[in-house]
Amino acid sequence: MFRKVTFPLLLAWVAIFSCRETASNRDEEIRLVNDWFHKQIRFSQVNLDSVGKYARMIDSVAKNLPGEYKAMALVGMGRYHATHKPDLSMKYFQQALDMLEKSNADSIKARAYNGLGVGYQKKSDFTNALDNYFKALRLFEKSDDIKGISGALANIGEVYQVKGDVSVAKQYIMQSMELSKSAEDFPAYLDAAHTLANIYGMNNQFDSALAIDRKGIRAADSMGSLKMKSAFYNNMGNCYLYSNRPDSARFYFMECLRLDAITGNRHYMVDNYLTLGQLLMKEQQFQEAEDYFKDAIRLSDSIGTHHFKMQAWKSLALLYKQQNLLHRSLEAKDSVAAIKDRLINEKSENRIAELKELYEADKKAQTISLQQVKLSRQNILLTGSVVLFSSLLFSGWLMYRRYKTKKEKELASTLLQQRMKATADILEAEDKERRRIATELHDGVGQVMLAAWINLQSVESASSLPENQKLSFSRAVSMVGEGCKEIREVSHAMMPNILMKKGLKGAVQDLIRNLDRHPVSIQLHMDDAHSMDNVTESILYRVIQEAVNNVLKHADANQMDISIHQSADGITLLIEDDGKGFDTEVLSQPTGMGMQSIKARIALLNGITEWDSSPGNGTVLTIFIPTK
C-alpha cells in the first residue's frame, strides 16, 4: 500500500520540479536579454560592433520568448547596419514595429521609430524622417524617458537645420539641451550645443557660435573629453575661416589635428589635413598645402577611406594647375579617375550584398512564421488527441492533414511572391546602376581620356621624333581617340537621353518645335555661356514641360516667354504667359497636381517656386535654384 501511494507522489513531485526549473530558466533568459538590451543601448553611440554582438546574443536566446524580446534583437541589428546599409537597417526596424503592433513595449517601439527616422533622414526624405521622429518623441514622453526625449528633440532639430528652417531648429535644440542638462546627461548636452553652434555659424552669426564653442570647450575640459573638445575647435576654425580670419582658422584646425592624433581619430585627422591644405592653397602657400594633401592621401590609404583620398587628389590637381604644373595636374586627375572607378565597383558590390541580406532577412522572417504555424498545429493536434474520442481520431487526423496542406500551399505561395519581389528589386537596382555607370563613364573616365587625347595631339604636333617613332606615337594617339569614341558610344548606349545629346537649350527648342502647330507663340531666351549638371537639366526640362502643358490646357494664352538665366548665385527660370490667369489661393489647396509636381521637383534642388497671377492678368512662374 505504501508503495502504491509513494509512486504517484514521486511522479507529481518530479513534474512540479520540472515546471519550476523551466520557469526559472525562462526568468534567467529574460534577465539576460534585458541586460544585453541595456548594454546595446549604452554602446550605440560608442561601438557599433558591440551593438551587433549583443543583438546576435539576444536573438539566440529570445527564440522561445515573447515578441518584445525578439524585437530587441531586431532593433539592435537595425542600429548596427544604420551607417553602411541603411535599407537593411530600415528593414529590421520595420520588422520590429510589425512584431510590436499589438504590444505596449513603448520604449522599444520608440527606438524603432527613431531608427526609421535616421534612415529617412539619410535618404533626404525629411517628411517621413520628421513623422517617425515625432512618433518616437510621443512614445518617449509617454514612458517619461528623459534621455530618449532629449535625443528625439535633437534629431528633429537637425532635420529642420538641414531644411534651412533655422528658427525652428534652434527651438528644438534648445529644448534638448535643457533636458540633457536636467538629466545630467552631459555628452548629449555637448552634442546638442555643438549642433546649435553649427546653426549659428551657418546663419553667419559667428560671434554667437564662437561663444557657444568656448563654453563647450570648458565643459569638455571638465569632462576630460578630447573628442568633444576637438569638435568645438573644428567649429571655431570654420567660423574664423568663413569670416575671413585665416590665421585664427589655421590655429584651431592645427589644434584639432593635435587632439585627433592623441585620441587616434584618424578619419578626423584626414579631414583636418584636407581643410588645412585648402586653406593654405587659398593663401597661395603651395608647398605647405601640397604637404598636407599628401599627408591626407597617406593616412587615407592606412584607413581605407577612398572618398577622402579622392578629395585630396582633386585638390592636388587644382594646386598643380594653379602653379602651371600641367603634367602633374594631369597625373593627379588620373588618380582621381582610378579612385572613382574603384568606388563605382565597391558601391555596386556593396549594393548587391545588401540586396542579398535583405532577401535573407525576409526569408528568415518567413522561416520564423512557418515555425510558429507548425508549433500552433502541434498544439491543436495535442489538444484534439485529449478531447476527441478514439472513434473520431482518424477523421480528426484527416482534417488536420487537409488543414496542413492548405497552409503549406499558402506559405509556399507567399514565399514565391516574396522571391519574385526580391528579383524585381535586384533588376530595378541593376537598371539604376546602369544609369549611374553611364553617367560616370561620360563625365569621369570619358573626360580624362579626352584630356589625355588632346594633350597627346598637342605633343604630337610639337614633337620632332624620328619617323619610325613618330609613326608609333601617331598610332598611340589614334588608339586613345578610338578609346574616347568607344567610351562615348558605350555611355550613350547605356542611357540614351535627349538631354545628354542636346543639353537643356536644345531639348527645350526641340519641345517648342514640336508645338509649332499650336496657336500659342513660345519664345525661348537662354544664355549659351553656362552649363549645368544633368540632374538640374533633367528637372528643369520636366518643369518646363509641365508648365507649357498647363498653359496650353488652361491659360487660353497667345504668347508665352521662357527665360533661363544663370549667374554665380544660381539659376533663374521665368515662364510668363498672357493668358486668363488664376487666383493664387488655389495653391494652398491639395488640388492642382501639376503645380504641386513642379514645387516637389524644384524642392529636390533646394529651389524656390513662386506664382504671380490674378484673373485676367496672365501668369508669371518664377523659379530660383541656388548654386550648390
pLDDT, mean of residues 255-276: 87
Sequence letter at residue 454: I
Q: What is the pLDDT of residues 454-463, one digit of tens each?
A: 877 777 777 6
Sequence letter at residue 418: Q
When pLDDT is cut at 50, 70 and 90, the band that residue 13 belongs to is: very low
**What pLDDT, on a 0 to 100 scale, did the predictor assign at position 349?**
52
- Torsion sign, CA atoms 497, 501, 504, 509: negative
pLDDT reading at 206 higher than 60: yes
Cα 176 to Cα 192: distance, rounded to the nearest angstrom: 7
pLDDT, mean of residues 534-559: 83
pLDDT reading at 368 higher than 80: no
pLDDT, mean of residues 229-255: 88
What is residue 571's three-state secondary structure? strand
Q: CATH number of the domain at 499-626, please?
A: 3.30.565.10
443 or 178, higher pLDDT: 178
141 or 223, higher pLDDT: 141
Percent of the chain predicted with pLDDT > 70: 80
**What pLDDT, on a 0 to 100 scale, did the predictor assign at position 76?**
87
Check: CB of residue 158 under 8 Å from CB of residue 195: yes
Cell reading at 128: 517621413
**What pLDDT, on a 0 to 100 scale, did the predictor assign at position 490?**
73
**What pLDDT, on a 0 to 100 scale, did the predictor assign at position 494?**
52
pLDDT reading at 161 higher than 60: yes
- Pick the range with the lowest mean pLDDT from 92-96, 437-441, 610-614: 437-441
Which pTM value belongs to this model? 0.47
Domain definitions of the chain by residue range = 360-388+396-494, 499-626
- Pick the range with the lowest mean pLDDT from 352-366, 374-388, 511-525: 352-366
**What pLDDT, on a 0 to 100 scale, did the predictor assign at position 8?**
46
175 or 447, higher pLDDT: 175
86 or 495, higher pLDDT: 86
- DSSP character string of 147-210: HHHHHHHHHHHHHHHHHT-HHHHHHHHHHHHHHHHHTT-HHHHHHHHHHHHHHHHHTT-HHHHH
**What pLDDT, on a 0 to 100 scale, did the predictor assign at position 381?**
62
Total residue length of the chain? 628
460 or 241, higher pLDDT: 241
Check: CB of residue 540 under 8 Å from CB of residue 507: no
Reference 209, options 220, 222, 195; nearest CA is 195
